[in-house]
Chains A and B, each alone.
Chain A
């Protein structure tokens, strides 16, 4: 192990499962005193989960947590705080209804009695000036009134303030995501200064340049495990990208190539994210499977929803020629009707076709349900059972049946395979391919590389814009990651 040998924290064989999904599958991770560890990896690689374990906000299913050379039982956020471990999470944690000073006080129970507001204000003002000279943030401002960038600055500054408890390790999860390049540089320079005094830092960022420039050591995570770890000087951009997920690609089942070149079938969707004039336009031809890639939350779901709206209404910058159905990824909040049977849940999108005269025919509805039970292989004894009697994967299949059983010619998929097991996935991939060959068009937002390989064409999203337009032959994990991480600087 390079660098100083005194470990501040050491995690040994940490495992964490959410249902059947392994977020962490046996991770060993340590941070030495006076080093900055850069942590990179895809969305869902397990970075945030690992940091939550380190900060005590998630209890691992297995594994040991060693802090200051002692194995800690009943490790919690409170204990972590006492031991000098601070964390700035991706989701900002300031209370919007309190002032900057009051928020600073939350972390420091020692500030009490008369004039606590003044003490807290002095504390946070000093730290803000130290990290971000010329910050222009008043300690008595209410946090909810400040911009997201300012809030992130406060959050970061607060993590570095000290009163009674020591400060040994600061975890920064995407600390620069809302900062402009100038403030980001101020923060990262401060990190180097703190590290020079002997404290440590874990830095998570999607901007690989930051990681390479400011870390002493880099750890790459993939699929809940550590894929690579070495001194920062031994990595470069391409090596990082490859380590993040190029290698697994070759092991994946290859999907049969289709000869059909682009443009032989008519266009049925034409859309620009947020009707912006810059960036690339998304085009889908009939019978194509079009993938929407990129980091999560970069405008893919919004595009799908605007196409969904555009199917029933005229909207600017949008052309949708056929009826549309949507398969939700978040099935509890966007998909299922919990009081209904599986049959009713499947039939809701096709009620018009299930009528005899003006009334819905229960006979037609049952036939429809039984037909789709067979086609998507829903594992249940009776389609009249409540939808909640199904496992998550089978509920998702019911949602596929709802969309594929409808008259819709265009099917939108909003990362629909979250939490679905591999067998179900393979069954559904084949179904999608068969439906596409029969003339249906698919727009498929997915965060999984493996699924993009099922697509005929892939658009990569970054900051609500399409930044790359990849044909099937051009598609590779490196290209997708490269485009998702393209830096403005």
Chain B
């Protein structure tokens, strides 16, 4: 309970992730003497979008309670990027087809994950991890390792900006507002929060536990699919490794953003703060010119620090 006072100063723990993002950005531009301050923000917003989408997926799953986590997200994102690019086939007229195909691949992965968990009673951490190996193999045989370029219209769309703000960032901001409404004001969202606090009590209070869990893993899979197809457009080509960094990132933004790792409490605004903080932290370290090893070291330490610091208020459970 030692850290209570710090995390409840504004009654909104996610304020801290924004503050952290701001401080990291400040440190970076002080180092460059103000050079590239705006560009840094634009780039950070553009990259944060993908962490936020993956983070929303992970947030719903983690909120289901202890043991729930979707480790198949990176493989899912990689496969979806390949599926989207292959279906679009470089042609602007097939953009919608490719996007929907990536979405469908994500939904199938979600259903597959849930079936492993429910039918075979495998703990989610293991079933999603093993699913990710299966998905990777499927991706390899499907894409044959080829990098397929996105259609020009799609590539342009994923990097479009309005007054320095990426178009995708605006879209994702609106999307996360919708997610907030779903989480707090729909029966589905309330059910997720209830299950995360006490699954048995939720069942006895009439919540359809299994249906909600299925829905949550499918939602996570679908968001992975969307994330993958957007990434392929933004980075001008698909690759099966494109999602790799989102294993750690998706979990990190959820935790830094104030969502409880033990479930039952989720925080949507914090996802943006956490994502911006992580992206800007890497930008700052890049500006300082440190090696890749130090970058990983600092990222790891930050996540450990946040979990330790946020550990106090969660002792309610």
The residues of A with any CB-CB pair to B shorter than 8 Å are: 308, 325-326, 328, 333-340, 344, 348-349, 351-352, 355, 358-360, 362, 388, 402, 406
Contact = CB atoms under 8 A, between A and B. Distances in A.
A335 B201 contact: yes
Interface in B179-205: 181, 184-187, 190, 193-194, 197-198, 200-202, 204-205
Nearest to A402: B205
A362 B207 CA distance: 19
A104 B141 CA distance: 60
Given A352-B187, A358-B186, A360-B187, A339 B264 contact: yes
B204 A348 contact: no
B206 interface: yes
Highest count of chain B CB atoms <10 Å: which of A351, A360, A406? A351
Nearest to B197: A337
B200 A348 contact: no
Contact of A349 (B205, B260, B265, B316): B205
A318 B265 CA distance: 38
A421 to B, nearest CB: 23
B222 to A, nearest CB: 19
Contacts of B317: 338-339
B204 A326 contact: yes
A180 B211 CA distance: 45
Contacts of A335: 201, 204
Given A325-B206, A337-B198, 7 more contacts: A338-B317, A339-B193, A339-B260, A348-B194, A349-B205, A360-B190, A406-B206
Contacts, number: 61
B200 A334 contact: yes
A348 B196 CA distance: 14
Given A339-B265, A339-B316, A340-B197, A334 B186 contact: no
Interface in B229-278: 260, 264-265
Contacts of A344: 190
B187 A334 contact: no
21 contacts: A325-B206, A333-B200, A333-B201, A334-B200, A336-B201, A337-B198, A338-B198, A339-B193, A339-B197, A344-B190, A348-B202, A348-B205, A348-B207, A349-B205, A351-B187, A351-B190, A355-B187, A358-B186, A359-B185, A359-B186, A360-B187
A334 B204 contact: yes
Interface magnitude class on chain B? 20 to 34
Nearest to B207: A348
A339 to B, nearest CB: 5
Nearest to B265: A339
A349 B206 contact: yes
Contacts of B316: 338-339, 388
Contacts of A360: 184-187, 190
Main secondary structure of the interface of B (DSSP, over half): helix
Nearest to A352: B187
Contacts of B260: 339
B201 A334 contact: yes
Given A339-B264, A348-B207, A388-B316, A359 B181 contact: yes
Interface of B: 181, 184-187, 190, 193-194, 197-198, 200-202, 204-207, 260, 264-265, 316-317
B202 to A, nearest CB: 8
A338 B313 CA distance: 13
A351 B190 CA distance: 9
Nearest to A355: B187
Contacts of A355: 187
Nearest to A351: B187
Contacts of A339: 193, 197, 260, 264-265, 316-317
Contacts of B205: 348-349, 402
Contacts of A328: 201, 204
A174 B185 CA distance: 52
Contacts of B201: 328, 333-337
A402 B206 CA distance: 11
A337 B204 contact: no
A149 to B, nearest CB: 30
Contacts of A358: 186
B123 to A, nearest CB: 21
A246 B154 CA distance: 83
Contact of B264 (A337, A351, A388): A337
A362 B264 CA distance: 19
Q: Which 8 A-B pairs have the closest CB atoms?
A: A359-B185, A337-B197, A360-B185, A351-B187, A348-B205, A326-B204, A339-B264, A349-B205
A344 B265 CA distance: 13
B190 A338 contact: no
A236 B132 CA distance: 70
B180 to A, nearest CB: 12
Contacts of A388: 316
A349 B316 CA distance: 23
B21 to A, nearest CB: 26
B62 to A, nearest CB: 14
Contacts of A325: 206
A344 B184 CA distance: 11
B233 to A, nearest CB: 32
Contacts of A351: 187, 190
A325 B316 CA distance: 27
B198 to A, nearest CB: 6
Contacts of A359: 181, 185-186
Given A359-B181, A360-B187, A337 B194 contact: yes
Nearest to A408: B206
Contacts of B204: 308, 326, 328, 334-335
A340 B195 CA distance: 12
B194 A333 contact: no
B198 A348 contact: no
A344 B201 CA distance: 14
Contacts of A338: 197-198, 316-317
A359 B194 CA distance: 17
Nearest to B208: A312
A364 B282 CA distance: 46
Contacts of B265: 339
B268 to A, nearest CB: 16
Contacts of B200: 333-334
A335 B184 CA distance: 20
Contacts of B194: 337, 348
A360 B260 CA distance: 23
A337 B265 CA distance: 11
A355 B185 CA distance: 9
A336 B200 CA distance: 10
Contacts of B193: 337, 339-340
A476 B206 CA distance: 35
Nearest to A327: B204
Contacts of A336: 198, 201
Contact of A348 (B181, B186, B190): B190
A81 B66 CA distance: 41
A351 B198 CA distance: 17
B190 to A, nearest CB: 6
A338 B264 CA distance: 9
